[in-house]
Chain A
């Protein structure tokens, strides 16, 4: 499904649906690395991502007989992965203390992001997004899926996907602007 990914062998899917564990082993091996990469980007935590990926792989096995159309395996399996990410992420949120105050000042102009953005700032801003917003961003900007495919994969209307992407990007931008503003203020003291 994502660009550059070989298509999944539907014969393997059909065999796995019938309980063939060897076939499922091949299927799982073919998607596991990509699943982990997606989960890691959504959750921003390798341990949580591994747990979510493992849960998803088991859930896919359990529910494979319910998949009506083997050709839709990839979209269907990604949907289970994202659900597992939501579950793991919410588990994290219950335990994670909120240590950082969000900036509340109005946005100010900057002379370009390149001078103030580094990976840590983007990481911090991204972590402020909800899991649902992160998922849309990752599927669209990392897997390069068009929004209609993102919507299909997540099982949401395309308008909702577009809205989530818009607000996610706006949230990222606002957070980065605020960080930049904060940095500038520190520099002038």
Chain B
């Protein structure tokens, strides 16, 4: 009987003696595809980017300047001393975008879903980096100990293993049950419905120790190239997994045990505000 030691040189020799071909033809084909393929953003949801690039910085500066001008004009045109109007929610939800959602207000997410998602963002929350089918807002950038977040995803694949992305992606089936079975604590699952769309509510906790994991750890990715990163240890996650006209919408809220009650209440209020309208 042979042993591993006997066979290793044979395997090694066989692998090295295998004929090699040139990749020139496939390289040309691959680079032709690359020519028309955009890169995916480094941003994930929730993504932490310590610095803004120049374009974003200029955009933010321009937006702040525009707001300052508008505010100044508004103050000048008001009667001094007269009570100002109470803050009101805009009657028409603003389209959700990275810059727009820097302010409180009611926003609509215009995906190619059968319904449009409408939700109200309170003051003090900021938009996460977003992909076409992953959108979110964060409190204190989502990080521990005080952060929290709310996001919307069309999940394509889970990033399995102790460190999420580090362990590689796993495609999951398209149903609500496929997702819930894969991520949730079974005891927490129960039927739910939002705006008439049926689904399952469930909970799961994140890793308590992220030290062994690389910085690009994550939970899942979406069809549109977005992904759900992990912000901090021991995230308390809630998910509402809904069937919206045959599309699986995952609404994910998270906080930490140390997140203050005001932020949690704001998070709950945002969840309560979610509507899916035709």
Contact = CB atoms under 8 A, between A and B. Distances in A.
Interface string B28-46: 0111011101111110100
A162 to B, nearest CB: 12
A159 interface: no
B168 interface: yes
Interface stretch (A7-15, A29-37, A94-102): A29-37
Given A36-B21, A109-B1, A119-B14, 19 more contacts: A21-B35, A25-B34, A28-B27, A28-B31, A29-B27, A32-B24, A33-B23, A57-B34, A62-B38, A63-B40, A65-B40, A79-B168, A137-B15, A141-B11, A142-B16, A155-B166, A172-B11, A176-B2, A177-B1
Contact of A173 (B2, B37, B167, B225): B2
Interface string A136-170: 01100110000000000011100000000010011
A184 interface: no
8 contacts: A24-B34, A41-B15, A54-B29, A57-B34, A62-B39, A110-B1, A142-B12, A177-B1
A83 B170 CA distance: 10
Contacts of A137: 11, 15
A103 interface: no
Interface size class of A (residues with CB under 8 A): 35 or more
B18 A172 contact: no
A-side interface mostly: helix
A142 B4 CA distance: 16
Nearest to A123: B14
A54 B15 contact: no
A110 B166 CA distance: 44
A141 B12 contact: yes
Nearest to A34: B23
Interface of B: 1-4, 6-8, 10-12, 14-16, 18, 20-27, 29-31, 33-35, 37-42, 44, 161, 166-169, 214-216, 225
A122 B10 contact: yes
Contacts of B215: 68
A136 B1 CA distance: 23
Contact of B37 (A50, A58, A169): A58
Contacts of A25: 31, 34
B23 A169 contact: no
B158 to A, nearest CB: 14
B30 A57 contact: yes
A52 B94 CA distance: 43
Contacts of A66: 40, 42, 44, 216
A5 to B, nearest CB: 14
A41 B18 CA distance: 8
